[in-house]
Amino acid sequence: MEEKVRQLNLTTTEDEINELATQHFEEQALVAGRWGSQLDALWQTQRAQYRAWLMSTLDEYQSTAALNTPRNIAERVQEPVSSSSLVLQLRNIAERVQEPVSSSSLVLQLRNIAERVQEPAGDVFVSAHSTLPDAHVVFHLIVEHSSLRSGDITSRHPAILGLRNVLKAACANDVTSISLPLLLRHELTEEMTVSWCVRRAELVLKCVKGFMLETAGWGGTELRTLTAALPAATAPDVFAALAALLPAVFRISNPVKISHRPSDAPL
């Protein structure tokens, strides 16, 4: 690169230098991604080995403790319980339950907690559910909503990196089916034209494809079903344009299931 710069306007041009700089940047990003994937794979392997060692040590400790215990658990359960002590404990619990709760104090405590807890954009937290009909685990991605209104976000945007964290968590926790918002928006607005939606969907799909190839080398659970969801008010022409991106980006031979429902619009 230094030699090319010295020969500027002699044997090289600005376009050649720009092309060489772009090539160097792409190679640097590729090497950084490769080393990052190897470090993540090594971390997952060491974590699994440490967990296996910890569980085996715990089992060995419990077995040794059971052999050294003079009386088993059943004998301990049969020991008489002091009724006066039990009544006293229940009375104390009843008195505490009947104490009035100061709503102003509770609101103040919650407000203080909310002010202290400031999760950075791109972080993900998980909640498990047993009453939702279509989901058992929900990944909550923290991102600034105003930053997603622009149509010029890149692969280094916190929302895109948050999708990588979601797929990484799914791979590490035996999640085989996942649904992602293709446009990273829950509703359509005026600035979301057809070209805007196509650019956003293409960026998300290409990044998700790269993340899926990256997670395949970690040794975790393989993602078998990927659902791309669209806002409910998506127009038919936008839906058709975005549906055509799936086989173009992923280049899969098996058929893609595409459906449109009034409540939502999964691809």
> For the segment 206-231, what is each residue's pLDDT rounded down to a tens digit?
999 888 888 777 777 788 888 888 98
Q: How far apart are CA 71 and CA 112, in angstroms?
A: 49
- The predicted pLDDT at position 202 comes to 92
- The predicted pLDDT at position 80 comes to 46
- The predicted pLDDT at position 168 comes to 87
CA distances in angstroms from 41 to 46, 160, 172, 214, listed in the order given: 9, 20, 11, 9
Q: How far is C-alpha 28 from the chain's CA centre?
A: 26
* Residue of 216, 210, 220, 159 lying closest to 29 (CA atoms): 210
Q: How far apart are CA 168 and CA 36, in angstroms?
A: 13
pTM, entire model: 0.53
Helix axes 194-215, 14-68, angle to 10 degrees: 50
- The predicted pLDDT at position 57 comes to 83
- The predicted pLDDT at position 43 comes to 84
Residue pLDDT tens, the chain, 267 long: 667 677 766 777 778 877 888 888 888 888 888 888 888 888 888 888 888 888 888 877 777 766 655 544 444 444 444 445 555 665 665 565 554 444 456 566 656 655 555 667 778 878 888 887 778 888 888 888 788 888 788 888 888 988 998 988 888 888 889 999 999 988 888 888 999 999 999 999 999 988 888 877 777 778 888 888 898 888 888 898 998 888 888 876 665 666 665 545 555
For the CA atoms of the chain, what is the radius of gyration?
28
Burial class (CB in 10 A: 0-12, 13-18, 19+), 201: buried
By the 8 A CB rule, do 37 and 220 touch? Answer: no
* Residue of 242, 175, 158, 264 lying closest to 212 (CA atoms): 175
Q: Which two tokens stand for residue 97?
A: 């339950």
Q: How far apart are CA 181 and CA 267, in angstroms?
A: 10
